[in-house]
Structure 1
Amino acid sequence: MTTINTLTDFLTQAETQFQLFDLGRQVRPLDSAEFVRIEQQAIPYPWPLQQHAWLGVHFFQATEEKHYLWFLKFALDERGLLISAGPKHFMDLVAETLGYKLTGDLDDATAKRLADNPYTFRPAEAKMASLHAKLGRQLEQAPSSYYQGLCHYLVAPGQDGWQQLGLQGFADFAERLQQESNLALVCKAMARLPNEPLHALCQSLESAALPPALQGALLERLGKEQECASPDPETLAYLCRAFAATPANQARTNKLLTLLETQPSPSLLLAIAGRLWPDLQHGPLLDLFLEQLAQQPTPFFNQVFAELVTLPLLRPQVLATLRSPNRSPALSRAIGRLFNAN
């Protein structure tokens, strides 16, 4: 038998067809060839969260109808490189329990042994719904029973009716934004949606590329919320998070600048750091973000700053702020407390 050193080798040796998803900050495909380079420690993991890679592994065998999902988290080092001991230990545990026959029915005792290890996790409900929606559409399955109910509600959104809508329906809808009728429906409804269904919709949009018309509708709703006498901080944060899978543009950057110029809430700062961190490659936005972050309690500043440093695309710019002579006294003090805590 060929020596098995990586998860890719393991799944290949087991004669499965498989695909990978990142489940950390949103749900997105992870290219298999890129993952091989990650396993070889040739490149850092692109989307770390809490210094881990959070993976969804979808696999099946061509001769069987059943499909399987593993949810795995593996530790990364300070440079974002995969620590290979984790995947190797996981594979040892699986081989000990199943051998190299990864598919087929499991009895309860075997399933419990397989799940009882430090490398598995249960995704949040919204992420699980988004992954199922993506796989269902890919496999040409019908959307969930909640989908039509959501479409009907969006025709005339109000305070009643949304309570029976399931998150899976929102996720199925987000996967079908390219349908012209759906796009027109959601753009028209955006201004009138109550906060609770709006938040659910935004969670699902995090993992979908947004057409320009919907980006415009979201920006309009953001502006409307900003103009309220008492803007709802959670709604502002959810609306920002909805852009997570969509490349940055000038209109969005300008909107984030206006949001940060007022007193931003912790929820908004987390939404930007956790979902819209690519936007922080824009120097003025990063500077303003860090200045506002410095106004937060020390544990919050330390946590968010540490997360930003782990992101490969952002790391050089964030570290450069440590040496910047232009940072404010407040930011200098916050950074000083960060180092004193370590």
Structure 2
Amino acid sequence: MSSVSTLSDLFDHAKLPFRIYHLGRRVMPCSRAHFRAFEEEKIAWESPFKGEARLALVIDDPDGQVDQSRIWCLALPLDEQGQLQPAARDAFLRRLLEAGLEASLHSEEDGQHDPMKDNPLAYAPDMMARAMLHAWLCHDNGLPLSEAAQHVARYIAAPTADDAPEWSDLSVQGIADWTVQLTTEDKVLLATQLPQLEDHVVSALCQCLEHTPFQHEALAAALRTRTTSDEPLRPLGLRAVIGTQTETARQWLDTLLTQTPSVEALAIVSLRGWQHLEHAERLPVFLEALAAHPDINLRDSLRDLALIPRLRLPVIMALQQASPASALGRRLSEMGLGRY
């Protein structure tokens, strides 16, 4: 396999279908073309998080059984340009080649050749990320709505009906399955029913919706209304809405920036709503708000934003244009970055 220099090459050579999913800023599908170009060091990773490309490499089960798919969750290190640092990937690739791909894929059956054991690239997503990944796999395999998701649909359609499922019986996996397959009608219904839903259900819905930017104005507005006045729900509502390209998301962010946003709110915007920072006036205000919080590690926060390909140049320009008298200018000077 002298021609094998990337993971994409390896699976193509073995004629094994595989898929890639983002696990960093959101859990969502990633195109194989993007992953291949990234592996070939032609482009930067489109959704970096904490200096890594966090992803799930899914090797499909030949019989289409989602639960039998092999899933390798990896955190590939990035350089200062957001591109792959290939050494760790190359070591993983050599490990697969030496053990044999077939043996590695059946490691769970024989207990040997586990490619993720003692693997420095191995990454363990949290429960919500695992639920969303499973939901996306079912969706992308064209599977019908799960029984758990059908219970969610029945509850949301009529939460106060005598025959409605108990909200406490709804599972996180069922809510995840339902959110990735939302139709326009579902979004309209959810926007209407939100005031009647239990807080625990709204919380779980928000945590799933933040991975499925739903681009629906009425639903975004309803989520903001439902969560803004509730302290525990407010950050969850922001996480769900801020990733959408809706007027509600933009207005919510602009309102935050006219106040004194909390560290948590700023982190949410950086993580889920960075697209809204592609704005000549909004980005400097956001960076100034970051700098105004002494507890924020500004260097790491700026690096994380600048690794996003579409934000790299705007962030650098905003830093260069920061007034020395501003909070941002002072923090940059303290870090020795006055001429960033």
TM over 0.5: yes
Unaligned runs of 5+ in 2: none
Query: Is 1:309 matched up with 2:306?
Result: yes
Aligned to 1:276: 273
Higher alpha-carbon deviation: 42-51 or 316-325 = 316-325
Contact 1:321–1:327 at 8 Å: present in 2 too?
no
Q: Distance in 2 between matches of 1:288 and 1:254?
A: 14
Amino acid at match of 2:123: F
Q: TM-score, length-normalised on structure 1?
A: 0.86
What amino acid maps onto 1:272 in structure 2?
V
Q: Give the counterpart of 1:119 among 118, 121, 125.
A: 121
8 Å contact from structure 1 (residues 298, 338) kept in 2: no
Q: Distance in 2 between the 1:64 and 1:164 partners?
A: 29
Instruction: Percent identity, please.
Output: 26
Cα deviation for residue 165 of structure 1 reads: 2.4
Q: What is the root-mean-square deviation of aligned Cα atoms in Å?
A: 2.7
Contact 2:26–2:210 under 8 Å retained in 1? yes
1:67-216 equivalence runs, <5 A: 67-104=69-106, 106-107=108-109, 109-110=111-112, 112=114, 114-154=116-156, 155-156=158-159, 161-178=166-183, 180=185, 182-212=186-216, 215-216=217-218
Q: Is the 8 A contact 1:178 1:211 kept in 2?
A: no
For the residue of structure 2 that corresponds to 1:58, the secondary structure is: strand
Question: Paired residues, what number?
Answer: 331
| 1:183 positional shift | 2.7
Output one character per residue of 1:92-139: Cα deviation in whole Å (capped at 9) or x when no partner. Answer: 222333445554463453165643211111112112111111111222
Task: Using the TM superposition, give the Cα deviation of residue 55 of structure 1 relative to its aligned residue in structure 2, in angstroms.
Answer: 1.2
Whether contact under 8 Å (1:72, 1:120) holds in the other structure is yes
Distance (Å, rounded) in 1 between the aligned partners of 2:90 and 2:190? 45
Q: Tell me, yes or no, if the aligned pair for 2:51 and 2:82 is still in contact at 8 Å.
A: yes
- TM-score, scaled to structure 2: 0.87
- Following superposition, the deviation at residue 320 of structure 1 comes to 1.4
- Mapped to 2, the partners of 1:194 and 1:264 lie a distance apart of 27
Q: Call closer, same or farther: CA 1:237–1:302 in 2, change over 3 Å.
A: farther
After superposition, the C-alpha distances for 1:261-312 in whole angstroms (9 at most, x for unaligned) are 1221222111100011011011222122122212212444333222112111
Query: In structure 1, the residue corresponding to 2:128 is in which secondary structure?
Result: helix
- Amino acid of the structure 1 residue aligned with 2:268: A
- Displaced runs of 4 or more, over 4 A: 61-66, 99-102, 223-226, 325-328
Which residue does the alignment assign to 1:319? 316
Match of 1:333 in 2: 330
Equivalent pair of 1:203/1:238 in contact (CA under 8 Å): yes
**CA shift at 1:168, angstroms?**
0.7
Q: 1:224 to 1:145 in 2, by over 3 A?
A: closer
1:186 counterpart letter in structure 2 = L
1:76 to partner: Cα distance: 0.6
Whole-Å separation in 1 of the counterparts to 2:284 and 2:324: 8
Amino acid of the structure 2 residue aligned with 1:171: A
Cα distance in 2 for partners of 1:286, 1:36 equals: 31
Cα deviation code 1:62-104 (max 9, x no counterpart): 4786422111111010001111112111112223334455544
Q: Is the 8 A contact 2:44 2:83 kept in 1?
A: yes
Change (3 A) 1:156 1:121: same
Runs (5+) with no aligned partner, structure 1: none
Equivalent residue of 1:135, what SS? helix
Q: Which residue of 2 aligns with 1:266?
A: 263
Question: Which amino acid is 1:206 matched to?
Answer: E
**Aligned match of 1:16:** 16
Give the Cα–Cα distance (whole angstroms) in 1 for the partners of residues 196 and 173 of structure 2: 21
Verify the 8 A CA contact 2:28 2:136 in the aligned structure 1. Answer: no
Give, in whole Å, the separation in 1 of the partners of 2:117 and 2:324: 48
**Correspondence for 1:222:** 224
Q: Answer with 310-319 or 326-335: which moved more.
A: 326-335
- Relative distance call for 1:327 and 1:260 in structure 2 (3 A) is farther
**1:237-283 Cα shifts (integer Å, max 9, x gaps):** 2222214653x244421221012212212221111000110110112
Q: How has the CA–CA distance of structure 1 residues 328 and 277 changed in structure 2, closer, same or farther, with 3 Å as cutoff?
A: farther
Query: Which residue of structure 1 lines up, in the alignment, with residue 234 of structure 2?
Result: 236
2: CA distance between counterparts of 1:13 and 1:101?
A: 16
Could you tell which deviates more after superposition, 130-139 or 55-64? 55-64
Larger mean CA deviation between 108-117 and 37-46 belongs to 108-117
Shift of 1:179: 6.0
For 2:64 and 2:31, the matched residues in 1 are separated by 24
Q: Equivalent residue of 1:238, what SS?
A: helix
